[in-house]
Amino acid sequence: MQATYDKIDDSRPVIRQLGESVINRIAAGEVVERPASAVKELVENALDAGSRRINVQYADGGKTLIRVVDDGYGIASLDLPLALSRHATSKIDGSDLLNIHTFGFRGEALPSLGAVGRLSITSRVEGEGGARISVTGGRQDDPIPAALNGGTVVELRDLFFATPARLKFLRSDRAEGQAILDVVKRLAMAEPQVGFTLRDVSRGGEGRLVLRTDPETGDFTNSLRGRLACILGPDFTDNAVPVDFSREGLRLTGFAALPTYSRGRAVSQYFFVNGRPVLDRTLFGALRAAYSDFLSRDRHPVAALFIDCNPQMVDVNVHPSKAEVRFRNPASARSLIVSGLRSALTDAGHRASTTVADATLEAIRPASEGRARVYQMDMSPRPAFPRRQERSDPLFEESVTVSGRIEEVEPAAVDEASSNPLGAARAQIHENYIIAQTGDGLVIVDQHAAHERLVYEKLKGQMAGQRVASQALLIPEIVEMSEENASLLLEVADDLARLGLVIERFGGNALAVRETPAILGTTDAAAMLQDVLDELRDLGDSTAVKERIDAVLSRMACHGSLRSGRRMGAEEMNALLREMEATPHSGQCNHGRPTYVELKLKDIERLFGRT
C-alpha cells in the first residue's frame, strides 16, 4: 500500500491577499514580543514627542494594563486615525532609511498593539481640544472629544487577548515586571534630562513606586553621571572612570567601572548607539575583550557606553525591535571600544574601587549572634618561629623577624613617604601582606598579587617593542610531555619566542627549553609550559592572536612575581609601593582581584567605637 502524507495536496495552491487585521497581528509578533516590548515602543514614542516627564504604570506584569503618560507635543485629533495605520509616522519621510535621528521610524508600534490588545490614545496639542481614539483587536472606533491638559495618554489593556496563544509564552508577572523595569532603566539612561516614573498598579490606587528619576541638569556627561548614580547606585559612579575617545568618525563616551568593581554575571552592561539602547553581541564582545587583561573569565565588567556617529555609518533597521544595529565597519566599532576603554582604565592608574574597603570593613566587623567568633589566638597557621629560608636573590635583604609573623620596619625615614598615595611600609605580616601608613589611614598590600601585575605590565611593555627580552639557559631544560601537548606548543613556537620563551623539539615527545623571559629570573620551565598549555586550551582557536599572547603573558607573569612567604625588607617593600603608584592597572591583579585595600582612619576608629 502506498503511504499517504498529510502535507501533500494535489490541488493547486491559491495566492490570497491577507486581511489588514491578520497582517497587523503578524507584524505585532515581531514588534511586540512581551509587555516590555510594548512599554519600549510607547516610551520611545513619548521621547520622540519631546516629553520632559514620562509616567509609566503597569498591572500584572503588563499583561492586563500598560499606561504611558507624557507631556510631549501631542497628536492632533485629525491625525489620530492615521497614527493607528501601519507605516504611518512623523519621524521620517521615507527618502533615506539610513538618516535616522529618532527612536521610532517604522510606524508599526501603535497598529500592532491595537491588533493584539485593547488600545486607547488620548491626546491634545497646544491650541486645540483633546481627543480620544480606541482600537480593539484591530477594530478601530472614531475619535471622540476628551479632556486633557496636554501631552498624550496611551492605555493598553489585555495584551494578546486577540492572540491568546501568545499569552502561554509569557513568564510570571514578576519576571515580566522586571523586564519592564529593565527597559525603562535603559531609556532613562539614554535620556538623563527626562524624568521617569514607573509604578506597579496591580493592586489598584497609586500602586507601588518601582523607579523614579528626576530630570538631570548640566551637560550630558554630568547629567549622565547623576542618572547612572540614580539607576546603578552611587557605588558605580564612585568607582567608574569617564570615557571619551574618538576614532575614524566614531566617538565613545560614558562611564566604565574599575576592574575591581565587577559582577558575577553580565547584567550591568549598557550600550547606546546614537542615543538608542541596543543589545548587540559585537559590542558586548568588544567590552569583554577590553577587560580581558584585568578580569578572570568568571567576572564581568560594568559599563554604560554611548557610541555616536554619522547615521549613515550604522544601520538601525536590522530588526523590527530596533535592538540590533549593523555598523558599516564593525572592526572600527570594536577597535573604538577596546582602545577607548583601555585608555580610560590606564588613566585611572593604580586606583582600586572603594567597595574593596567597604567589603573589608564588613568582613572584620563583629560576627552576628549565633556564630562563634574566631580570634587570632584560636588559629594555628604555622609554628611560632619558622626556620629562615635561604635566598639566592641578592636584590632583597633579610628583614627582622618579630614573633615569626611580622616583619617590622623601623619608623625612621618613613614619615615623609607617608604622603605618597600608598603610604610608607611599616610592617610585613604572614610573609605576604605589607602594611603601609598613609596620611589619613593605612594600606594593606598583597605582595604576590601586586608584583604579578607589575611583572605583567613590564612584559607587555617589552612586547610593544616586538619581543620580550630573554635569557639563554646554560643547560637547556628538557620537558617530557604527550605528543598532543608537544604539537600544540610547537604550533605557537614563533609566538612564544616573541614572549621570550624559546622551545624546540628534543626527540620523541620531549621539548627543550633554551631561553626564558629574563624578567622572570629563575623559573620552573616544566611548570611554565604546563601553564601555557592550560591557557591555550582555555582560549581555544577563536581568540585573536593578540589576546592569546596577552593571556599567556599573564600566566607567565605569575612565575616571576614575589611568592607568598617571601620576607621583604623595608627598602624592598617601599620600592614595591612606589612602583605600584607609577604603574597603570596595578590596583588589581591579572584576574581582577584587588592588590591592596585602603582603610581610612575614620573607618578604623569606627570599628573601635571611637567616633
Q: What is the pTM of this model?
A: 0.72
328: left (phi over 0), alpha (psi -120 to 50) or beta: alpha
Under-70 pLDDT residues of the chain:
1-11, 16-31, 87-107, 317-322, 365-418, 538-549, 551, 559-564, 611
Exposure class string for 429-456: b at 16+ Cβ within 10 A, else e: eebbbbbbbbeebbbbbbbbbbbbbbbb
Q: From 261, 295, 364, select the one nearest 606 (Cα to Cα).
A: 364
Question: Which pLDDT value is given to residue 542?
Answer: 43
Question: Which pLDDT value is given to residue 419?
Answer: 82
CA terminus-to-terminus distance, the chain: 95
Whether the CB-CB separation of 43 and 182 falls below 8 Å is answered with no
State which fold the 220-347 domain adopts.
Ribosomal Protein S5; domain 2 (3.30.230)
Are 20-213 and 220-347 in the same CATH fold? no
Whether the CB-CB separation of 279 and 538 falls below 8 Å is answered with no
DSSP-assigned letters across all residues of 514-554: EEEEGGG-S--HHHHHHHHHHHHHHH-SSS-HHHHHHHHHH
CATH class name, domain 20-213: alpha beta
Question: Which pLDDT value is given to residue 122?
Answer: 96
Q: Give the β-pairing of 276-278 and 326-327.
A: unpaired
Q: How far apart are CA 233 and CA 224, in angstroms?
A: 13
Exposure class string for 174-185: b at 16+ Cβ within 10 A, else e: eebbebbbbbbb
Q: How far apart are CA 174 and CA 422, in angstroms?
A: 47
Whether the CB-CB separation of 456 and 590 falls below 8 Å is answered with yes
**Does the 349-364+403-611 domain belong in CATH 3.30.1370.100?**
yes
Report domain extents, the chain. Answer: 20-213, 220-347, 349-364+403-611
Question: Which pLDDT value is given to residue 325?
Answer: 83
Question: Which pLDDT value is given to residue 59?
Answer: 97
**C-alpha atoms less than 13 angstroms from C-alpha of 153 in its C-beta half-sphere:** 14
Q: How far apart are CA 531 and CA 513, in angstroms?
A: 14
SS3 content of the chain, % helix, strand, coil (to 5): 35, 25, 40
The three-state secondary structure class of 450 is helix
Distances (CA, A) of 384 to 96, 276, 380, 569: 79, 63, 9, 20
Q: How far apart are CA 525 and CA 512, in angstroms?
A: 9
Question: Which pLDDT value is given to residue 264?
Answer: 86
**C-alpha atoms less than 13 angstroms from C-alpha of 131 in its C-beta half-sphere:** 19
